[in-house]
Amino acid sequence: MKTISALFSTLLFVAVWDLFTRTSQQADAIAAKSMSPAVSGNQRRTEPVEKKRERLLEGGLCPSYSTDNDKYKWTTDEGRCVYEYWKKHYAPSSPSGFQGTVLEMGVVQGSSKLGEAHSHAIQYELGWDTILVEANPEMEPFIRENRPGATLHMTPICSKPTTLHFRITDMVGLNGFAEFHDEEVFQTKLKSRNGKIVKTIPMQCQPMAPLLKDVPVIDTYFLDVEGAELMVLESIDFSDTCIQIFNIEDGDPSSSGVGTFLTKKGFKHVGWNTEQYNHVWVNSKTCRPSHSAYPFTWMVSFGFLAGLVVYAGYLAKTHPGK
């Protein structure tokens, strides 16, 4: 009977501990939906760097990173920020050795050396499946060299098939489609950097949905396509592909069509990333079933407990006084 009592106590402890850990994870999930401190777009644009850092820290979205002892070879703070957010709020319910899916649009050359690829470390250091989408046809050989193993789509994205005009400048960061550029802003940036348009390439675009027909879940999605973000979002079939976290340029909830669109799709804005134009949105529902031993643990625990009770009753009848 002492042995049975010890087993009973052990199983009871396991069951209680399991309940405690699951409750903690549920609390983390609720925290994931919390909003960072509200700051207007104008305030962000004039906000001093130190004040910006304080607010990010206060909002809990991104810590202050030290690159000296990074476990992973992060190429951008934006990429690390989004992964750290995923790790905090979603990793606890993911299986050991979890292999997620990351998608990045607007990868330029996809290089780790140039610090332009948010998904680089997620692909190579964490081993996640990686999908890259880039519209500039001149970048294809560089991406294939820099990002072996990734699924690459060299195509512009739009809500329905049409012809767009891709402008290539001598300033890589300004390359994009004429149809989506704010012409006044584009020309101002070009002039301020003494840049020029090198050539314009007509291209056929397609919706995002066909590219994702065999991708049921995207855990992190980096979207930076120089003004075409809303059109890309409108081309996704959210009923076929569940996206957990977006990092979107110009995704300010207070001043962009992107914010309105994502809110209607059930996403929550949790703050802006290390660049003032990059915003992080999370799905209010969980895309992947929680990898939890909760049902199994309780089933086994109660099964054992029931068995022990029956066995204890049997011993009490057959060996009275023991």
Summarised one tens digit per residue, pLDDT across range 236-268 is: 999 999 999 999 887 778 777 899 999 999 999
Pick the closest to residue 29 from 292, 313, 311 (CA basis): 292
| Cβ proximity of 89 and 29 under 8 Å | yes
Pick the closest to residue 120 from 85, 141, 95, 148 (CA basis): 148
| Cβ proximity of 179 and 216 under 8 Å | no
- Report, as an integer, the average pLDDT of 154-173: 88
Q: 98 lies in a domain?
A: no
| Cβ proximity of 240 and 209 under 8 Å | yes
Average pLDDT, the chain: 75
pLDDT at 207: 94
- Most confident by average pLDDT, 1-10, 66-75, 109-118: 109-118
| Cβ proximity of 170 and 196 under 8 Å | yes
Name the DSSP class of 232.
H
Q: 197 lies in a domain?
A: yes
143: tokens are: 């991406």
- Report, as an integer, the average pLDDT of 267-274: 83
Residues forming a β-bridge with 163? 204
Q: 143 lies in a domain?
A: no
| Cβ proximity of 244 and 283 under 8 Å | yes
- Report, as an integer, the average pLDDT of 218-236: 90
Q: How confident is the model at residue 222 (pLDDT cuts 50, 70, 90)?
A: very high
Q: Is the dihedral of CA 237, 239, 242, 248 positive or negative?
A: positive
- pLDDT cut 90: percent of the chain above it: 28
Tally of domains within the chain:
1
pTM of the model: 0.67
- Most confident by average pLDDT, 100-114, 145-159, 246-260, 279-293: 145-159
Residue 171 belongs to domain spanning = 162-205
Q: 196 lies in a domain?
A: yes
Q: 129 lies in a domain?
A: no
Distance of CA 136 to the CA centre of its chain: 24
Upper half-sphere CA count for residue 112 (Cβ side, 13 Å): 14
Three-class SS state of 157: strand
Q: Measure the N-to-C terminal CA separation of the chain; round to a whole number of Å.
A: 8
Q: 180 lies in a domain?
A: yes
Q: 2 lies in a domain?
A: no
- Report, as an integer, the average pLDDT of 140-166: 91
pLDDT at 218: 95
Three-class SS state of 279: strand
Q: 75 lies in a domain?
A: no
Q: How confident is the model at residue 306 (pLDDT cuts 50, 70, 90)?
A: low
